[in-house]
Structure 1
């Protein structure tokens, strides 16, 4: 029997419309998005949204600020929603763990997506981040507050979340050429999210 981590892609694909309807459009993440956009090496910038969902509200915010977004998600149905909303931007169906776009981006965003991966898959993502990062690129992602696993629920199905220890995230970032610009654990001003903002050296 597959683990909850292995079921994530199928869960989002099966319930793509439900997830889109349930995803709030109020952007409590705006302060952190502004920090991310402020760390981009140039503007307008090319942004890679990894696990982009239905493109709202995160990608929309970046687009409305004048940036070019390429969104990647493993759910074809979510990518279809993205294409219907923002047809002038690039939307690709791909598992982030196998992502190899042959392009570099000024900003990489993995908000509420990367943390659905198991521990080893998260470790393997950092060279993938590096391979898609332009010079001085900004990287922002969310994680858990400490090493562990947590199982939530979506549509009465288990929803997996995994996290490494913060010291390991710092080491992985450093090993792959990123300096941490800002990190906060369970930010009360951002819905309790644990956030990492880094820049490629």
Structure 2
């Protein structure tokens, strides 16, 4: 499934998503664990930022200037309204091009929607966007391959290259893995934290 189509699906539920998650703590403890590894706190990138909310607020509290990216135009609109002091782009991470580099990158429950063929190129891109001592935190599925699932009266696409491939890619791109966890076991939800030494 092309990211633009995923974006259109999230457009339909953007306000509902915002209302359900505006006060949520989902993923916040994991984010704070990752932020504990940061030594520089200047610029952060949130890939799949959605309507903003909890992650943007935490990053802001840590002193970051934040760039958010999402394939949903409606999500980006809400994020910009909620956090006027930061920058948000309606963009697909697969094709987004920037010369900026970031001290912290988070991609929470977002890149697992990418086409399977884009998993490795996008993870490589995120690694290359990190500053020296930069930290990456992202989620992926503990499965290899792709599938669709029904959620919110619609069909959503998911893909992953699995734990081993993800870890190899991080190391091939010069990062050190400092945390790996199936944080919702027995569900196949994995989050990783890695640092560019």
Q: What's the TM-score, normalizing by structure 1?
A: 0.88
C-alpha contact 1:5 1:161 (8 A) present in aligned 2: no
Q: 2:8 is matched with which residue: 7, 10, 24?
A: 10
**In structure 2, C-alpha distance between the alignment counterparts of 1:143 and 1:199, rounded to whole Å:** 17
Kindly state the Cα deviation for residue 42 of structure 1 after the two structures are TM-superposed.
1.4
Judging changes above 3 Å, is the alpha-carbon distance between structure 1 residues 36 and 98 closer, same or farther for their aligned structure 2 residues? Answer: same
C-alpha contact 1:126 1:176 (8 A) present in aligned 2: no
What residue number does 2:105 align with? 108
Residue pairs, 1:25-40, within 5 angstroms = 25-40=23-38
Q: How many residues align?
A: 196
Q: What's the TM-score, normalizing by structure 2?
A: 0.90
Q: Give the gaps of 5 or more residues in structure 2.
A: none
**In structure 1, C-alpha distance between the alignment counterparts of 2:155 and 2:194, rounded to whole Å:** 31
Q: 1:42 is matched with which residue: 14, 20, 40?
A: 40
C-alpha contact 2:124 2:170 (8 A) present in aligned 1: no
Judging changes above 3 Å, is the alpha-carbon distance between structure 1 residues 152 and 59 closer, same or farther for their aligned structure 2 residues? Answer: farther
Kindly state the Cα deviation for residue 37 of structure 1 after the two structures are TM-superposed.
0.9
Kindly state the Cα deviation for residue 192 of structure 1 after the two structures are TM-superposed.
7.0
Q: Give the gaps of 5 or more residues in structure 1.
A: none
**In structure 1, C-alpha distance between the alignment counterparts of 2:141 and 2:154, rounded to whole Å:** 20
Kindly state the Cα deviation for residue 114 of structure 1 after the two structures are TM-superposed.
0.8
**In structure 2, C-alpha distance between the alignment counterparts of 1:76 and 1:118, rounded to whole Å:** 19
Kindly state the Cα deviation for residue 137 of structure 1 after the two structures are TM-superposed.
0.6
Q: 2:143 aligns to what SS in structure 1?
A: coil
